[in-house]
A and B are shown apart, each in its own frame.
Chain A
Amino acid sequence: MSKVIRIKRGLDIPLAGEAEKILQTPPRADEYAVKPPDYHGLFPKMLVEEGARVKAGTPLFYDKYNEDVIFTSPVSGTYTQLIRGAKRRILEVRIKADAEDEYVQFGKEDIGSMTREKLIEKILKSGLWPAIRQRPYAVIANHKDVPRDIFITAFKSAPLAPDLDFVINGQEDLFNLGLGVLSKLTDGDVHLSVHTEKTISKAFTQVSGVKLHRFKGPHPAGNVGIQIHHIKPLNKGEVVWCLDIQDVVNLGRLFRDGIYYPQRIVALTGPEVLNPRYYKVLAGTRISPFTNKNIRVEQGVTPRFISGDVLTGEKINKDGFLGFYDDQLTVIPEGDKPELLGWLVPSLDKFSVSRTFFSFMMPWKKYRLNTNIRSGERPFVITGLYEKVLPMDILPMQLIKSIMINDIDMMEKLGIYEVAPEDLALCEYICPSKIEIQTIVREGLDAIQKEFA
């Protein structure tokens, strides 16, 4: 068996509200949405008129800068509404769902007989292609590239992240089928990373045709960016692809049944959820069918709904829609109440990596953390802190500074190709100067991408 890669630096934030391992199927949502902002850098061009009838798999829009990448409807129904934001940016394409789904049939050929080009064409046409993302830049993969390798993580370490062992249960065959497709897309290897202790599902540990890696340690050990860095770091000029295991399953389904069916087993988590558990839904579903009556009601406390985890997710409304890539919904309280001398009192209900709060004496405690920032933004003052939560051979503070001054050359030297905003999410979390590090990393990636476009 391969050696264990121990991640020493990192942090598991003790947030309350882990999902119980119960899987439910909520009633079908009345409306679904495909949200262009889920896909960074996308410039959508609509393909259908308002009021059009669509099937599951009917193209809705495509990417202006890469016309082969199309986005299809997750359900059959009527395209009713386009929600626009500032500068007429398209935020949501809403589909009013029929009671039953009709599918566009993409064919059920044998994978073995298909060429790489045919495989890619089929994935593109089905609308499942955006599930495959690339590094560098952490954007939708360019189908004209041949990736050096493909990386998949079989465990997640973000706060309250779903247990992928539980998620994969019963879908092992589809998963294997999906892996078979992926192995034909790269000249290199398909790498699957498992957790030494937590991963026990045989779907992962006894999988064939992939390179298996064993990891151990705190978040962000489950981030694919960290795993790539420790398995085979990304160099300038190289491209690797990565995708979630649920999309590997969906890929398998596309080739077995010939349909686009973006299933998500979603963990509903967080301190504000009364009964945190798992739900089987489709990407883009309205969340209210499974959050209704399951959220704590307390006088003066507003819940915040986050599609994704608390570190990297997107804030949505209480009747908003699940993001395309998200397999988790987190609900935490808003922290919009001022607190008298809050920086001074030795509170027990606040969590800090530093040991300046007495809560460090209670390592077993789970917290009801809120969204309060606690301070205005400050310049960098404290050093050596980000390094403690970034298990990579990268100097985070220096990299961020090089991005702030837009020094492309320095960004390259300091390893911008190896990071995605999510990899530095913990740096943002612990930053005592409250600097928006993920936003800065994204700006850096955009700058580099533009420079070489």
Chain B
Amino acid sequence: MKALHNLLEKIKPQFEKGGRLEKFYRTFEAFETFLFVGGNVTKRGSHIRDAIDMKRTMFHVVIALMPVMLFGMWNVGYQHYNAIGLEVDLIDQFLFGLIRVLPLIVVSYASGLAVEFIFATIRDHEVNEGFLVSGLLIPLVIPVTTPLWMVALATIFAVIIGKEVFGGTGMNILNPALLARAFLFFAYPSYLSGEVWIYTQVQEGQALVDGFSGATPLALLASGELQYLPSAMEMFLGNIPGSIGETSTVAVLLGALVLVATGVGSLRIMLTVVAGGLFTGLLFNLFATNPFMEIPAYYHLILGGFAFGAVFMATDPVTASQTGTGKYIYGFLIGVITVLIRVVNPAYPEGMMLAILFMNVFAPLIDHYVVQANAKRRLRRLKNAQVKLS
């Protein structure tokens, strides 16, 4: 440890002002603070500070994402071998997924972090930790068949247009990971709908099984092919087609447990999203005119990206509502709009992405009214006090 620290201290002058690599100071600093929590001490205000920092916060979200990531990798392999009718063991299924998913993750992190480092250098601020989470979220919300260049493009777009133009982490209006997905969804629709969810490129001597359909349960529902719909248990466990990380509600719940237990994620938002989804689902049940409206309301929670979005996307503290009361409204409306888009909208079978992005845009408005309400309470108190005086 001492040797490593000495090494860093030794090369540090080259990166500091006047040094040969001065331009890369922010890059050096990012790695330095990654390796060592600095010895900088408080100067003003509170002399002691809570041990938590952004790195640890973000790291815990990454931990929470581990179950869905690992399950997603396995599911990629499982779906693939299922499609070609080959029976292999769990390890092989996982390894196949690992080989397919890992490049997506690497590309996402590499392209996004490159942009982050460049902007940190231009703006001369420390590299923010936000992308540690976004970089893992992006590969988890796209199909495994997405080309790598597309992942890179979407990531760069999301980081620049979604985050840096607003001033970087903490200032963005839209969730960067969802923006990346939305970018792909609208720029390359054929890569994000239809038969893209399962890796179906076969090697010589392999063939897809007869009657194979790679449609997601949501697509089946939208097209009315209810006879192919997987059982609720399958959808809950997650061995169904879909984006890499979204299929398993169980794995998402494990992640939610980590987020809530450590106090990093907002339980308030998670629960209200679920409440909003259930409420709208039940409402449709009451006035059902087609099969999609008739499905049990709880199906919405285990279908598609609902659980994943509720736990990992809607809870993004920067783009969600920032006031306590606002969070209830924000979460509930996400649930409502998701189911609304799913059931009523003929074009998009999945509503979670658009619902969250939509509410991201509305979150400041919700907060505005909550803040105004607080200000009004104070004003009313002032008026009452003046009445008493006069």
| Interface of A toward B, CB cutoff 8 Å | 13, 15, 233, 235-238, 304, 306, 310-313, 315, 330, 332, 334-344, 347, 350-357, 369-376, 378-384, 387, 393-395, 397-398, 413-415, 421, 425, 428-434, 436-439
Contacts and interface: CB of A to CB of B under 8 A. Distances in A.
Contacts of A353: 50, 52, 263
Contacts of B263: 353-356
B56 A439 contact: no
Nearest 5 Cβ contacts at the A-B interface:
A342-B37, A379-B170, A375-B53, A350-B51, A413-B375
29 contacts: A304-B47, A312-B45, A338-B39, A340-B1, A340-B5, A341-B37, A343-B37, A351-B51, A352-B51, A356-B52, A356-B57, A357-B51, A370-B48, A374-B37, A376-B33, A376-B126, A378-B170, A381-B170, A383-B323, A384-B317, A384-B324, A395-B323, A395-B371, A413-B375, A414-B371, A428-B46, A429-B50, A432-B54, A432-B56
Nearest to A350: B51
Interface string B308-338: 0000000001101011100100000000000
Contacts of B36: 338-342
Given A347-B51, A351-B51, A430-B50, A393 B264 contact: no
Interface in B126-155: 126, 128-130
Given A375-B53, A382-B317, A384-B327, A233 B381 contact: yes
Interface residues of B, number: 62
Interface of B: 1, 4-5, 33, 35-57, 59-60, 126, 128-130, 167-171, 261-264, 266, 268, 317-318, 320, 322-324, 327, 367, 370-371, 374-375, 377-379, 381-382, 385
A398 B368 CA distance: 10
B170 A355 contact: no
Contacts of A341: 35-37
A354 B371 contact: no
A387 B5 CA distance: 38
B130 A432 contact: no
A369 B53 CA distance: 16
Contacts of A431: 49-50
A379 B171 contact: yes
B329 to A, nearest CB: 14
Nearest to A159: B48
B50 A310 contact: no
Q: Which of A336, A347, A352 has the most CB of B within 10 A?
A: A352
Given A238-B385, A352-B51, A354-B263, A372 B39 contact: yes
A310 B47 contact: yes
Contacts of B55: 343-344, 375
Q: Which of B51, B171, B370 has the most CB of A within 10 A?
A: B51
